[in-house]
Structures are given as structure tokens and as C-alpha cells.
């Protein structure tokens, strides 16, 4: 597994993709409590002016310190700890409570690898399986999915919401199919919210909201696995969630309303 020294990454700062797709300006004054990060690590981000970001490499350590965590976010391709922290901060500010994020990659450093994993390992297998075999499959070896499975298995009674953007939504769907495959039961009332990549989800989950931007002409439509009736179109939005960019996906508004 690749491991990067975070102090070097902090000097470089967020990648172009993270600055474009996420509101990274919100975490520029934040302090990371650990200087090494690996894909699959978990961070805890608190709302508003609380600027310490805690990192955990083990699910058990996270749950020992933060039993109250009930919301998990996963970001998309081209994201590292910065994009994860930015989306988690956005969600934490809306919910006014700490939010955990699963680090999905290393930004530009593993962009191609993450794109291949998202499209070829998850999307193509899901579409092929659904169309031709009528089966709902679980793709093994996707790190953020594996971590989410462990989190849900060990803390399912507390979990209330899963939030995914772009490939992060695919990772969430993959994790839920993994739980089904392993016959692990969790609360089916957990709320699942996806942005910019509507996904096919197990039929047993009903509390689902999925959004695709009208101006998201490539990344969302190419990677989505959901049928048209499974998501809503946000008419003045593209793929980005960065609130400083015109036509961004309005994550804050959509998390607080069911009317669109």
C-alpha cells in the first residue's frame, strides 16, 4: 500500500482537481494531527471554527474516540485527504456535528489508478451484471469500500447517513452490496445521499436521495449506474461541489431539503 508523508503534501497543498471539485478553502487553516496518510484512513472533521482534523488508521481506534460519529463521506477520483476533509467540513457545517471521511486516494498522484478502479472495476462490472445477469455484485479490493463495510458492521446501530460524491458514491454502493454478500444486516433506514454520480443500490434501502447536475455532461453520466427514475436532476449545477464556482452542486441546500 502506498503511504505518503503528509507534511510534504501539505506543502504542495490540494491538487487542481480537489480545488475545483471541493470547497478546500474551508480547511486551509485546519491542523492535521498526524503527518502520514494512507488510502483508507479515516479523518474526523468538526463543524465551523473547530479546526483540528484527527486521523485514524484503524476503525476500532476511531470508534473508541468517537462513538458519536453517525455520518460518513467519501469523495471521488483526484481527491486526497484535502478533498475528503473539505467535503466532510461542508457536511459537518450543515449537520452541526462531527463527520468522518474515508480518504479515497492521493489526489493527482494516483488519479489514473482511481479512475480505472472506479470505471472498470466497479461501473463496468455493475452494469454488465445488472443488465445481463440480473445480479447485484460486490467488487472486492476497493479500499474505501472495505473500510466502510467494517465501519458499518461495527457501528451500524449509530450510523444515520452516508454521503458520496462522484466515485465516492460508487464506493458506497459497492460497500452496501458487500454487506449483502456477507449477509451482514445493518439498519436499512440509514440515509444515503449521492452527488454527481447516481448509483444502483440494494433494493432493501429506501431512504435514498441521489442528484445529478444538468450541466454535468461527462463525469456523472459516464459513471452512473442508476436508472433515470432513481435520481433527480439539479438544473443549475455541474459536477463540482465547490461553492465558489458557478453552477456548483448545492450540497448544503440539498442536505437540508427534500424538495427539489
Convert the pLDDT of each residue in 212-245 to its tens digit: 999 999 888 888 888 899 999 999 999 999 999 9
Query: What's the half-sphere exposure (Cβ side, CA atoms, 13 Å) at 12?
Result: 17
From 97, 52, 51, select the one nearest 72 (Cα to Cα).
97
- Copy the grid coordinates of residue 206: 429506501
- pLDDT reported for residue 12: 57
Range of the domain at 88: 3-256
Which range, 16-25, 26-35, 87-96, 123-132, has the best average confidence (pLDDT)?
A: 87-96
What values do phi and psi take at 214, rounded to 5? -60, -35
Q: What percent of the chain clears pLDDT 70, i.e. is strictly above it?
A: 82
Q: Are strands 36-38 and 99-102 parallel, antiparallel or unpaired?
A: unpaired
User: Who wins on pLDDT, 204 or 193?
Assistant: 193
Residue-averaged pLDDT of the chain: 84
Tell the burial category of 256 from Cβ atoms under 10 Å away from its Cβ (0-12, 13-18, 19+). exposed
User: Given a cut of 80, is residue 108 above it in pLDDT?
Assistant: no
User: What sign results for the dihedral spanned by CA atoms 56, 39, 177, 169?
Assistant: positive
- pLDDT reported for residue 4: 44
State the residue for C-alpha cell 486516494. 105
Q: What residues contact residue 233 under an 8 Å CB cut-off, 6+ apart?
A: 211, 212, 213, 214
The pLDDT tens digits for 2-23 are: 444 444 444 456 788 899 999 9
What values do phi and psi take at 167, rounded to 5? -60, -25
- Copy the grid coordinates of residue 236: 443549475
Contact at 8 Å (CB) between 256 and 157? no
Tell the burial category of 146 from Cβ atoms under 10 Å away from its Cβ (0-12, 13-18, 19+). middle
State the residue for C-alpha cell 487553516. 29
- Copy the grid coordinates of residue 151: 465501519
Which CATH number belongs to the domain containing residue 57 in this structure? Answer: 3.40.50
Cα–Cα distance for residue pair 216/233, rounded to 1 Å: 10
Tell the burial category of 34 from Cβ atoms under 10 Å away from its Cβ (0-12, 13-18, 19+). middle
Mean predicted confidence (pLDDT) in 99-128: 58
User: Who wins on pLDDT, 36 or 39?
Assistant: 39
Q: How many domains does the chain have?
A: 1
Cα 48 from chain centroid? Answer: 20
Query: What confidence category does residue 106 fall into, taking pLDDT thresholds of 50, 70 and 90?
Result: low
Cα–Cα distance for residue pair 92/231, rounded to 1 Å: 24
Amino acid at each position: 500500500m502506498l503511504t505518503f508523508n503528509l507534511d510534504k503534501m501539505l506543502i504542495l497543498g490540494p491538487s487542481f482537481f480537489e480545488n475545483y471539485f471541493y470547497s478546500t478553502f474551508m480547511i486551509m487553516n485546519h491542523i492535521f494531527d498526524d503527518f502520514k496518510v494512507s488510502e483508507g484512513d479515516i479523518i474526523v472533521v468538526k463543524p465551523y471554527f473547530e479546526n483540528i482534523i484527527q486521523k485514524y488508521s484503524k476503525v476500532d481506534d476511531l470508534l473508541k474516540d468517537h462513538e458519536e460519529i453517525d455520518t460518513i463521506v467519501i469523495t471521488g477520483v483526484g481527491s486526497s485527504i484535502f478533498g475528503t476533509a473539505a467535503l466532510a467540513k461542508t457536511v459537518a457545517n450543515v449537520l452541526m456535528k462531527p463527520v468522518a471521511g474515508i480518504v479515497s486516494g492521493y489526489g493527482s498522484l494516483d488519479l489514473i489508478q482511481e479512475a480505472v478502479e472506479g470505471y472498470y472495476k466497479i461501473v463496468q462490472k455493475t452494469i454488465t451484471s445488472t443488465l445481463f445477469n440480473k445480479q447485484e455484485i460486490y467488487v472486492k479490493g476497493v479500499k474505501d469500500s472495505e473500510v466502510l463495510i467494517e465501519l458499518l458492521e461495527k457501528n451500524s446501530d449509530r450510523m444515520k447517513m452516508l454521503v458520496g460524491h462522484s466515485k465516492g458514491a460508487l464506493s458506497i454502493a459497492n460497500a452496501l452490496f458487500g454487506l449483502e454478500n456477507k449477509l451482514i444486516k445493518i439498519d436499512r433506514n440509514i440515509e444515503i445521499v449521492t452527488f454527481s454520480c447516481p448509483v444502483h443500490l440494494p433494493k432493501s434501502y429506501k431512504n435514498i436521495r441521489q442528484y445529478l447536475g444538468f450541466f454535468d455532461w461527462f463525469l456523472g453520466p459516464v459513471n452512473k449506474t442508476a436508472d433515470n427514475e432513481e435520481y433527480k436532476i439539479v438544473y443549475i449545477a455541474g459536477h463540482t461541489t465547490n461553492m465558489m464556482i458557478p453552477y456548483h452542486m448545492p450540497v448544503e441546500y440539498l442536505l437540508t431539503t427534500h424538495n427539489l
